[in-house]
Amino acid sequence: MIRIEAELPRNDLAAVTDALDMMGITVNITKAKSRGTTVGSEVHAAKGTGMYRSEFRDKFILQTTVSDNSEHDVIEVIRSNSNTGKISIFPISRVIDISSGVENEQGLALSEYDSVILIAAKKQETSFPFGLTTSKVKLEPQAIEGEKGYYDVIEKKFVPLENLESVIAQVKPIEKFQIMTPDDAFLIQSLTRIQRNFSLYKRKQSDSYSQAFLKYISNRFLSLWPENEINTAVLYVDIVGSTKIATSLSSEELSGLIKVFSEEMAVVVSKHAGFVLKYAGDAVIAFFPELKDFGNMAENAVRCARSMNMLVNHSLNPMFASFGLPKINVRIGIDVGKNRIVVLGSEPDLIGHSITIASKILPLAQPNQMTIGEETYKMLSQEMAVQFMKIDPQDKRWNYNHPTTGKIYPIYFSIPVMQISNRGN
Residue whose C-alpha is closest to residue 136's, from 1, 21, 17: 21
pLDDT at position 135 is 42
Confidence of residue 357 (pLDDT cuts 50, 70, 90): very high
| Sign of the alpha-carbon torsion through 317, 319, 321, 325 | negative
How far apart are alpha carbons 325 and 369 in whole angstroms?
22
Euclidean distance between CA atoms 67 and 83, whole angstroms: 25
Question: Which ranges of 248-327 would DSSP assign to H, the alpha helix?
Answer: 251-271, 297-311, 317-322
Q: What pLDDT is recorded for position 268? A: 94
Say which residues have a Cβ less than 8 Å from residue 424's Cβ, sequence separation at least 6.
386
pLDDT mean across residues, the chain: 78
Q: What is the pLDDT of residues 256-271, one digit of tens each?
A: 899 899 999 999 999 9
pLDDT value for 117: 58
pLDDT at 82 over 50: yes
Domain ranges of the chain: 2-36+51-91, 96-171, 173-424
Using alpha carbons, list the distances in angstroms from residue 100 to 9, 97, 117, 135, 167.
Answer: 36, 6, 9, 17, 19
Position 290 confidence tier, pLDDT thresholds 50, 70, 90: confident
With contact defined as beta carbons under 8 Å apart, do 282 and 256 qualify?
Answer: no
Over residues 383-406, mean pLDDT: 89
Confidence (pLDDT) at 375: 95
Which range in 133-147, 194-208, 215-229, 381-395 is most confidently predicted, on average pLDDT? 381-395
Pairing of strands 42-44, 51-53: antiparallel
Give the pLDDT of residue 316.
Answer: 95
Domain 2-36+51-91: give its CATH code. Answer: 3.30.70.120
Architecture field, domain 173-424: 2-Layer Sandwich (3.30)
- The strand pair at 330-344 and 369-373 is best described as parallel
Start-to-end C-alpha separation, the chain: 60
Q: Which pLDDT does position 195 carry in this prediction?
A: 84
The one-character DSSP state at 365 is: S
Positive or negative, the Cα torsion across 362, 363, 365, 367?
A: positive
Give the Cα separation of 111 and 353 in Å (integer): 33
Looking at residue 66, its pLDDT comes to 78
Per-residue pLDDT reduced to its tens digit, 187-240: 998 998 888 777 666 555 555 667 777 887 788 788 777 778 889 999 999 999
Q: At 117, which amino acid appears? A: I
Alpha carbon distance 262, 128 (integer Å): 21
Q: 22, 25, 217: which is closest to 117 by C-alpha?
A: 217
Task: Check residue 124 and give its pLDDT.
Answer: 52
Same topology between domain 2-36+51-91 and domain 173-424: yes
- Tens digit of pLDDT for each residue in 308-333? 999 999 999 999 999 999 999 999 99
What integer is the mean pLDDT of 90-113? 55
